[in-house]
Amino acid sequence: MSGKTLFEKIWDSHMIAEREGGEALLYVDRNLLHEGPFYAFDALKREGRQVHRPLQTIAFSDHYVPTTARAMGSAGIKDGEARVMVEQLARNSRATGIVHFGLQDEEQGIMHVAGAELGLCEPGMLMGGADSHTSTNGAFGLFGFGVGASQVKHILATQTLWFSKPKNMRVTVDGTLGPLVSGKDLILAIIAQIGIDGGIGHVIEYAGSAIRALSMEGRMTVCNMTIEAGARSGMICPDQTTYDYLGNTRYGPKGDDWKAALAYWKTLPTDADARFDREVRLDGNALEPMVTWGTNQDEAIGISGRVPEPASFADPARRERAAEAQAYMQIKPGTAMRDIAVDRVFIGSCTNARIEDLRIAAKLAQGQKARVPTIVVPGSMTVKRAAESEGLHEIFLAAGFEWRDAGCSMCTGSNGDKVPSGERCASTSNRNFEGRQGRGSMTHLVSPASAVAAAVTGRLADAREIA
Amino acid sequence: MSAVAAFTTFTAVAAPVFQANVDTDKLIPHKFLRKPLSAGYRNFLFYDQRFAEDGSEKDFILNRAPFDKAGILLSGRNFGCGSTREGAIYALQDFGIRCVIAPSFGDIFYANCLQNGLLPVVIGDAQAEKLNAHLEAHPGAQVSVDLAAQTVTLPYGETLRFEIDAQRKEQLLKGLDDIGITQQYSTQIDQFEAAHKKRQPWLFRAQPELTDTRATLKEGVS
Ligand code: SF4
């Protein structure tokens, strides 16, 4: 009998029952929420149901929070509907006994940034979340997945979920990433290779020397965007990097709990003789900084490249999609990516707003000046404080960048931080869909280093040019 | 047990919105996800495609008769990719769509469909293209779905079989929601939880520092 993968170990240890058809009832260790699934609380109330295990759910206000002028709390949110979203999560959390990191909490942040840095994500967990990017936390060697409001309701009411077992894919990246080539570039290259529907029905485990060499922040970026390849989740086996990170968190296990947890975590990595349904390989040595040219995440290319001819795609569907994307993005085939001027820059989101991202950005921004409006939105207030204690904010401010409070912000613009129609934005977020950053907005996904390069040159640029 | 609308058989005009990777931002822009369900989600569907910035109607297939009364949508690969937002489902249903046919679906969207009694039907690429060509040539052509038989009957008489999880099919046919079913497993859940707690007690430790500090924080909300 062959060994088990990390995913199989977690699946097996959380299975309560199986039923005809193949779905399994799984136990959910922890569940993360944001303001979005208010429908779930409304429905629970309507149906007269209780939250079964409130201590296993944690809520974060992130999508609708303002990134400036927070002193007045929610009363200071001018947009009435956004205020309702922030206040009703606070009210619903309080009424049901759920821990809530609200607008004025000193540890407030994007759920996929704050949860991990506080130590709420542990190897081996099965984690549900009200957001597709819950996959981010797979960087710790857990199985994290996003669900819609109805399944959020199911988790709240039962602490379980019915799930049909995904297939298991392994993406191995060996080699050494070059200077200023980051986890973001790596995941964009992976998505470009397997396609935005290449991961449907799969959980992806990342392995190989280039993955092992990534920090926890870099690993989170990779697992975060795994969802953009259509996969259910991304995961990385826990190792010393994971344990060192968790040993320094505020709410992670302590004392005897830490010892017991660590012993358990060490049993989790994929066995040497485990089998995967699909294997994909990438050469880390060959990668350069990546940037998207289209409206899907697989429409990405190295920064030294040119906007491709739609006819260059073998698949007719991709050809058509490329032509439509280029029309929306107002760019012509053959244009050098480095010749594309941008109107603004966003450094933030659950993909790239952790302390390491801001350190890289600040290092490059040192002594430079922004040519286009640039905002830096830390992923959490904890990240914000850490950055300020290191003086990073002073570098950003001196370069003419705006320095904001934590939240999702311009990733999707739900709090009002939008890219105006017809403007082009270099963004460290994860979705370049039509209208994602605001109606008529055009998004180029880039790493934090490339975002700074775009800010100070006013065009898409290779960070190595300005370093 | 709370009910979801049951799905048995359905015949309706099918609208071809035959694009690959229709993402949930396209199905419903984020700005509408703050609206209460009572607002009605019909007009939020494909909003940017259907309406100009000033709110006037654009020339988009779902704005035109007979497709403004479509009950079935045909689309391309990877339909519903992107976010978990169930607003995408609510908007489709409020428009009158009860079944989406596509060569593949985003995993989360597919699960959300089943939760809400919207039937996702997977057919092959070639069949989808043939159906698309027919629907474009014959506006208003109808498609029939029979969930019990797991078949779709196309306007040119061809009948295709589709796959669906046996238990999900049963639930859709009867309009049963998951929670009621899960509660039948409550003994197993309790037993599992007790054993799990014994194996990994630290996961269940109430953390006073985590809960107490948060409880004292005011949101300006009573
Ligand atoms: S930062 Fe963007 S992708 Fe991440 S949770 Fe917020 S809105 Fe979603």
pLDDT digits (tens, 9 = 90+) for A145-169: 999 999 999 999 999 999 999 999 9
Give the domain extent around B191: 182-221
Ligand 1 pocket, residue A350 CB under 6 Å: yes
Contact between A151 and A161 (Cβ < 8 Å): yes
What average pLDDT does chain A have?
A: 96
CB nearest B30 (choices: A17, A197, A412): A412
Report chain B's terminal Cα–Cα distance, integer Å: 32
Q: CA-nearest residue of chain B to A416?
A: B31
Sign (positive or negative) of CA dihedral A4, A10, A16, A19: negative
Q: Taking CB atoms and an 8 Å limit, are B81 and A197 in contact across chains?
A: yes
Confidence of residue B3 (pLDDT cuts 50, 70, 90): low
Q: What value does the mean pLDDT take over residues A59-83?
A: 92
| pLDDT for the residue numbered A73 | 87
% of chain A residues with pLDDT over 90: 95
| pLDDT for the residue numbered B221 | 47
Ligand 1 pocket, residue A235 CB under 6 Å: no
Asked if the C-beta of B18 comes within 8 angstroms of chain A's C-beta atoms, the answer is: no
- Both B66 and B171 in one domain: the answer is yes
Q: What value does the mean pLDDT take over residues A120-134?
A: 97
- Both B68 and B103 in one domain: the answer is yes
**Where are the strands (E) in A125-182, listed by range?**
126-129, 143-146, 160-164, 167-174
Is B3 a member of any domain?
no
Count of Cβ atoms closer than 10 Å to residue A229 Cβ: 26
Residue showing tokens 């190295």: A302
Structural domains in chain A? Answer: 1-167+211-271 (3.30.499.10), 295-465 (3.30.499.10)
CB nearest B185 (choices: A25, A151, A154): A25
Closest atom, ligand 1, to C-alpha of A414: 7
| pLDDT for the residue numbered B5 | 83
Confidence of residue A69 (pLDDT cuts 50, 70, 90): confident
- Both B167 and B105 in one domain: the answer is yes
For the cut 70, the answer to whether the pLDDT of residue B195 exceeds it is yes
User: How many folded domains does chain B comprise?
Assistant: 2
Closest atom, ligand 1, to C-alpha of A429: 2
| pLDDT for the residue numbered A422 | 97
Q: Which residues of A touch B201 (CB under 8 A)?
A: 257, 260
Q: Whose CA is nearest to atom 2 of ligand 1?
A: A411
**What is the layout of strands, in order, in the sheet containing A374-376?**
A402-403, A374-376, A344-347, A424-427, A442-445
| pLDDT for the residue numbered A314 | 92
Comparing A70-74, A373-377, B175-179, the range with the smallest average pLDDT is A70-74
Q: How many CB pairs under 8 A join A and B?
A: 208
Q: How many angstroms away from the CA of A392 is the closest CA of chain B?
A: 28
| pLDDT for the residue numbered A317 | 86
Question: Residues 425..444 of A with a Cβ closer than 8 Å to B: which?
Answer: 431, 433-436, 439
Is B77 a member of any domain?
yes
In the structure encoding, which two tokens stand for residue B157, read together? 């008489």
Backbone angles phi, psi at A281, to 5 degrees: -125, 150
- Both B62 and B120 in one domain: the answer is yes
Is B117 a member of any domain?
yes
Crossing angle (nearest 10°) for helices A38-47 and A80-96:
50
Contact between A341 and A455 (Cβ < 8 Å): no
Chain B interface mutation, best of A415, A436, A437, highest count of B Cβ atoms under 10 Å:
A436
- Both B216 and B106 in one domain: the answer is no
Q: How many angstroms away from the CA of A161 is the closest CA of chain B?
A: 9
Ligand 1 pocket, residue A429 CB under 6 Å: yes
Is B124 a member of any domain?
yes
Q: Taking CB atoms and an 8 Å limit, are B89 and A148 in contact across chains?
A: yes
Q: Whose CA is nearest to atom 6 of ligand 1?
A: A408
Confidence of residue A336 (pLDDT cuts 50, 70, 90): very high
Is B4 a member of any domain?
no
Closest atom, ligand 1, to C-alpha of A348: 1
Distance from chain centroid for Cα A272: 29
Report chain A's terminal Cα–Cα distance, integer Å: 52
* CA of residue B32 to ligand 1 center, whole Å: 16
Confidence of residue B2 (pLDDT cuts 50, 70, 90): very low
**SS3 of residue A70 by DSSP:** coil
| pLDDT for the residue numbered A32 | 97
Cis peptide upstream of residue B66 (ω within 30 degrees of 0): yes
* CA of residue B129 to ligand 1 center, whole Å: 34
- Both B31 and B111 in one domain: the answer is yes
Contact between B79 and A112 (Cβ < 8 Å): no
- Both B123 and B26 in one domain: the answer is yes
CB nearest A154 (choices: B84, B89, B182): B182
Confidence of residue B219 (pLDDT cuts 50, 70, 90): low
Asked if the C-beta of B217 comes within 8 angstroms of chain A's C-beta atoms, the answer is: yes
Query: Could you report the predicted ipTM of this complex, rounded to two decimals?
Result: 0.94
- Both B70 and B37 in one domain: the answer is yes
Least Cα distance to A185 among A360, A359, A446, A432 occurs for: A446
- Both B62 and B13 in one domain: the answer is yes
Comparing A79-83, A301-305, B216-220, the range with the smallest average pLDDT is B216-220
Q: CA-nearest residue of chain A to B191?
A: A16
Q: CA-nearest residue of chain A to B76?
A: A317
What average pLDDT does chain B have?
A: 93
CATH code, domain with B158 = 3.20.19.10
> Where is A236: in which H helix or E strand?
strand A233-236
Confidence of residue B164 (pLDDT cuts 50, 70, 90): very high
Instruction: Indicate the DSSP class of residue A62.
Output: -
Q: What value does the mean pLDDT take over residues A446-462?
A: 98
Q: What value does the mean pLDDT take over residues A72-77?
A: 88
% of chain B residues with pLDDT over 70: 92
CA distances from B165 to A24, A46, B119, B127, B194 (A): 12, 29, 12, 21, 30
Ligand 1 pocket, residue A412 CB under 6 Å: yes
Ligand 1 pocket, residue A436 CB under 6 Å: no
- Both B190 and B81 in one domain: the answer is no
**What is the layout of strands, in order, in the sheet containing A202-207?**
A233-236, A202-207, A167-174, A278-283
| pLDDT for the residue numbered B4 | 81
Ligand 1 pocket, residue A67 CB under 6 Å: no
CB nearest B166 (choices: A20, A27, A317): A20
What is the tens place of the pLDDT at every residue in A250-296? 999 999 999 999 999 999 999 999 999 999 999 999 999 999 999 99
Asked if the C-beta of B173 comes within 8 angstroms of chain A's C-beta atoms, the answer is: no
Q: Taking CB atoms and an 8 Å limit, are B29 and A439 in contact across chains?
A: yes
Chain A interface mutation, best of B182, B187, B193, highest count of A Cβ atoms under 10 Å:
B182
Asked if the C-beta of B58 comes within 8 angstroms of chain A's C-beta atoms, the answer is: no
For the cut 50, the answer to whether the pLDDT of residue B209 exceeds it is yes
- Both B112 and B208 in one domain: the answer is no
Is B189 a member of any domain?
yes
In the structure encoding, which two tokens stand for residue A124, read together? 């081996």
| pLDDT for the residue numbered A19 | 93
Is B1 a member of any domain?
no
Comparing A44-48, A194-198, B9-13, B216-220, the range with the smallest average pLDDT is B216-220
Asked if the C-beta of B2 comes within 8 angstroms of chain A's C-beta atoms, the answer is: yes
| pLDDT for the residue numbered B213 | 61
| pLDDT for the residue numbered A21 | 85
| pLDDT for the residue numbered B220 | 46
**SS3 of residue A446 by DSSP:** coil
- Both B48 and B157 in one domain: the answer is yes
Q: What value does the mean pLDDT take over residues B134-142?
A: 98
